[in-house]
Chain A
Amino acid sequence: MKQEISALMDGELFEDESDSLLGRVKRDSATRDDWEVYHLIGDVLRQPEHIHCGLSAKVRARMQEEPTVLAPRGRTAKHKIHTMAWSAAASLAAVGVVAWMSMQITPETSPQLALQQTALRPASAGIKNKTNEYLMAHQEFSPSTGMNSGAYYIRTAAYQPGEK
């Protein structure tokens, strides 16, 4: 099961296989957990800064509270309208309806999303400090320190560009 998920993420499954697997992910919560864990690992490999787990669950919970589940589509719909509105005057009437809909939706969704992002940001500074301390405490007892002295203490020092 796990290697199938891994293969699906790597794009190595045939279409019918991925369909049935995605179906299983939707139905079975254990499979969904695996799916999320693999994505979390993938995310942290690509971007090693702190990655929150359970984020999708939190987003899902927030979306439940939103007035409409269509919310995130608001933006794309609006974006499309811009291009379509100029090119196809004939469908203006229909577009008008969609534009009206998106205006109803976007003002409410974007502040919500922005809120969520700012809520996450301050925590990461604290996490970074804490992380360095865990690294320091860990390094002391790691056999790698016994083998090449303190060179690996540099892990506790690594900084990201932009840091003060």
Chain B
Amino acid sequence: MRMDVAFCRVMLGGLLLIGGNAHAEDWQVGLDWLKVIAFAAHQTEYSGVFVYQYGSHVETSRITHVVEPDSEFEKLERLDGPKYEIQRHHGQVWCYINQKMVQVDSRQTHGKFPDLLPEQISALGENYWIKETGMERVTGYNAQTILFKPKDSLRYAHKIWAHTDSGLILKAAVLDGKNKVIEQYAFTQLQIGGAIDRSWIQPSDLTDTNLSQASPEMAKGGASANGGWVVDALPAGFKKTMEIQRPMRGRLAPVTQLVFSDGLSAISIFIEPDNGDEGEGDGLFSRGAVNIYSKVMSQYLFTVVGEVPPRTVMQVLDSVRYNGR
């Protein structure tokens, strides 16, 4: 089976060399779309209800995104089950836990949410075949479909439905190697622009006053660092985008987080001293397209999180080593 895949890849590579020009154009169109999409995600005001599904699990949420001069506000509310809400603003993430909003993350940004970097977008072409796959209708809007097919089996395929006018993503699906949907979300109702509810925006509430009440140790976002950790078996094209020492709830010491990205998916590696809790360590967990693998090795607890297949998070974790200084 694997031999066949390798063989196909060689064949495909050959074909691409011959038809290289045509393909390059496809890529370019795909990459241009991505820039529009990334821009739209930040600059468009919208409010809508979407369904998120993985396996047999289906749930409904409402997302509201408004743009103020120099800043963005976003509210995500789960509409099914127990109340759960996340608000994002100015690099800060607030989460509704135990009847109150608690800040779970804070980062020094310039008012905007983290953007897709140009180098991330160009890296995409190295790791995925990008193809426009036609027009479809989603929630009453016309959408362009774009397929990102990975060049190896260590990552998933992604398909997105982008609104042809605004570039907003109306629907997105993650597919495995057999084209089976692993998770998807789709708007069922969406208002783009117009009068969008802003009553929930309370800038004074979302600043330092609540911060002290919530959890003081979370106030600072974490410092960038280089702890000397090396990962040998990352899939090709994953580049390190971040390494920080971050506080995490319930931990005494800061946790080291390394982030690697191939432009579409990311892999985070968390490293913390093992507190010896029985049974908390080794294990594999999945939620939708995200797989999480934890393992205790030489008194550290390693946790790898990524929108990549289980095999990949396991392979990555097993290749982390300390490059002693």
A159 adjacent to chain B (CB < 8 Å): yes
Task: Please give the distance in Å from A113's CB to the nearest CB on chain B.
Answer: 16
A70 adjacent to chain B (CB < 8 Å): no
Interface mask (A99-142 → B, CB under 8 Å = 1, otherwise 0):
00000000000000000000110110011011101111110111
Contact indicator B113/A149 (Cβ below 8 Å): yes
Which A residues lie within 8 Å of B279 (CB)? 52, 119-120, 122-123
Contact indicator B263/A141 (Cβ below 8 Å): no
Which A residues lie within 8 Å of B307 (CB)? 142, 144
Give CA–CA (A156, B61) in the complex, Å: 12
Given A134-B292, A138-B266, A146 contacting B65 (CB threshold 8 A): no
Contact indicator A149/B280 (Cβ below 8 Å): no
Which of chain B's residues has its CB closest to A156's CB? Answer: B86
B227 adjacent to chain A (CB < 8 Å): no
Contact indicator B63/A143 (Cβ below 8 Å): no
B30 adjacent to chain A (CB < 8 Å): no
Contact indicator A146/B268 (Cβ below 8 Å): no
Task: Please give the distance in Å from A28's CB to the nearest CB on chain B.
Answer: 19
Contact indicator B266/A151 (Cβ below 8 Å): no
Given A41-B310, A137-B270, A153-B86, A48 contacting B305 (CB threshold 8 A): no
- Which of A3, A44, A136 meets B310, CB within 8 Å? A44
Which of chain A's residues has its CB closest to B263's CB? Answer: A143
Which B residues lie within 8 Å of A163 (CB)? 81-82
Which B residues lie within 8 Å of A157 (CB)? 61, 76, 78, 84, 86
B57 adjacent to chain A (CB < 8 Å): yes
Contact indicator A41/B268 (Cβ below 8 Å): no
Contact indicator A134/B268 (Cβ below 8 Å): yes
Which of chain B's residues has its CB closest to A152's CB? Answer: B185
Which of chain B's residues 311-325 have a Cβ closer than 8 Å to chain A?
Answer: 311, 314
Which of chain A's residues has its CB closest to B37's CB? Answer: A147
A77 adjacent to chain B (CB < 8 Å): no
Which of chain A's residues has its CB closest to B81's CB? Answer: A159
Stretch at the interface among B130-138, B202-210, B283-291: B283-291
Contact indicator B113/A146 (Cβ below 8 Å): yes
Task: Please give the distance in Å from A151's CB to the nearest CB on chain B.
Answer: 6
Which A residues lie within 8 Å of B291 (CB)? 44
Which A residues lie within 8 Å of B59 (CB)? 154, 158-159
Give CA–CA (A152, B160) in the complex, Å: 13
Contact indicator B284/A133 (Cβ below 8 Å): no
Contact indicator A143/B2 (Cβ below 8 Å): no
Task: Please give the distance in Å from A114's CB to the nearest CB on chain B.
Answer: 16
Which of chain A's residues has its CB closest to B288's CB? Answer: A155
Which of chain A's residues has its CB closest to B290's CB? Answer: A155
Which A residues lie within 8 Å of B265 (CB)? 142-144
Task: Please give the distance in Å from A149's CB to the nearest CB on chain B.
Answer: 5
B231 adjacent to chain A (CB < 8 Å): no
Task: Please give the distance in Å from A159's CB to the nearest CB on chain B.
Answer: 5
Give CA–CA (A153, B107) in the complex, Å: 17
B303 adjacent to chain A (CB < 8 Å): yes
B125 adjacent to chain A (CB < 8 Å): no
Which A residues lie within 8 Å of B266 (CB)? 138, 141-144
Q: Can you list 13 A-B contacts with CB-CB less than 8 angstroms, sorted by A residue number?
A: A49-B285, A53-B284, A119-B279, A127-B285, A145-B113, A148-B41, A150-B74, A150-B76, A155-B290, A158-B287, A158-B288, A161-B81, A163-B81
Interface residues of B (CB under 8 A from A): 1-2, 34, 37-38, 41-42, 50, 52, 54-55, 57, 59, 61, 63, 65, 74, 76, 78, 81-82, 84, 86, 88, 93, 95, 104-105, 107, 113-116, 120, 160, 169, 172, 185, 241-242, 246, 248-250, 257, 259, 261, 263-266, 268, 270, 277-280, 282-288, 290-292, 295, 303, 305-307, 310-311, 314
